[in-house]
Amino acid sequence: MWIKRDISDSIATNTDAIQVIRGPRQCGKSSLILHLDPEFKELSLDDPSLRQLAQNDPELFLSQFNTHKLFIDEAQYAPALFPSLKRKADLYKQEAKRNPQTIIRLTGSNQILMDRNVKESMAGRASFFDMNTLTVTEILAAKESSIQDIIFKGGWPELHATSHRNPKKYLDDYINSYVEKDIILSAGIQKSHEFLKFIKLLAGRTGCLLDLAHLASEVGVDSKTIKEWTSVLQRMHIIVLVPPFSSNLSSRLTKSPKVYFLDTGLASRLQGWTSAEPIITSPQQGALFENLVFSELFKLNLNFQFGYQIYHWRSRDGEEIDFLLQLNPNKFLFIEAKVSPQKTRNLADFPEVRKVFKNQIINLVVCHQEGKFTLDNQVPLAHLKKFIIKAIG
């Protein structure tokens, strides 16, 4: 079963000679490229012989494949290839009028290696697209599924496109291969046991303020190491730190970011869940649903290039709202994530909000997991995409 991706049109209509599609392993990058245009010639540098040729003789590697549509998967494994791609991109610009269809698409799942190779060589010469796992709306447009099932499975395409895969085994294999091996090796992490303990503790704190000192104490390393590991997970598109909103009008807002996983399936498995049902009655239900709402907001921003900023709101006096979206310089949207529909609080009840946003357009909604609208300013998660598009105007 093919699940349509929201990012498809942005990639398909782009005409730049070099296009870089980044994202974690198994999020669907290769499948999407070949689905959009089967004429692309696929070369995977997971193949040792191709990787060796691309690294040792990149010009020969590129000349061997006489095609105007070339797709190089896991391109980060051949850093010597990028200067040759840079020259090709410059040549394509000169030949654009004669040969406008020449396109090379590159994918890479190891963001540390990809960024290291791409930033200098491809600056100003490529279009960049960031992919992640499926959104809730992408899944529900293709099949019936409960929000609880999506929380547990996450957005991994293979778990939703086929019915025979065991989610627990799939996620275990992913953690073993990508998290325990790729990330640790590429980042040069020496304390692998402590790193795995760290990421499990982080999963248990999804939606919470990041406390480096407390994590360092529990893991048994120093705060500097925890900070470095957190940065690694951010660069590998595993987690996102959501900054607090700050304003010169208020010094009473917290300064700490909140941590979220980009995929709830990974977070739920790292927490130890083996199926969806027990999560419903667990203390982690609310935090994982909040994480799913964040993930949806973040991926929508990537897929449609909306450009809004995501913050959290928390004052030292206890005022707290899960998410604050800055849609434009004068338009803000507060979103609370609640498992069940609840009466929306009035923004007038938040003194710090009134103080900071005196002249801006603001609104507050509750996003919940039920499938239909219930009360005013209540948005089911399945309709969040339509709501955001309308709010942006």
Residue 205 and residue 316 share a domain:
yes
List the CATH number of the domain containing 34.
3.40.50.300
Contact 148, 277 (CB under 8 A): yes
Domain-located, residue 1: no
> In this structure, are 102 and 36 located in the same domain?
yes
Read off the pLDDT band of 114 (50, 70, 90): confident
Whether pTM > 0.75 for this model: the answer is: yes
Instruction: Give the integer Cα–Cα distance in Å for 246 and 242.
Output: 12
Does the pLDDT of residue 336 top 80, yes or no?
yes
Q: What is the pLDDT of residues 266-300, one digit of tens each?
A: 999 999 999 999 999 999 999 999 999 999 999 99
Residue closest to 264 by CA, chosen among 148, 111, 179: 148
Query: Which domain, by its residues, includes 114?
Result: 8-130
Residue 186, pLDDT > 80, answer: no
Co-location of 125 and 150 in the same domain: no
> Are 232 and 143 in the same domain?
yes
pLDDT of residue 110: 79
User: Mean pLDDT, to the nearest integer, of 254-265?
Assistant: 95
CB neighbour list of residue 155: distance below 8 Å, 6 or more residues apart? 27, 132, 133, 134, 135, 136, 138, 139, 263, 264, 265, 295, 299
What does the pLDDT read at residue 349? Answer: 81
Shared-domain flag, residues 13 and 156: no
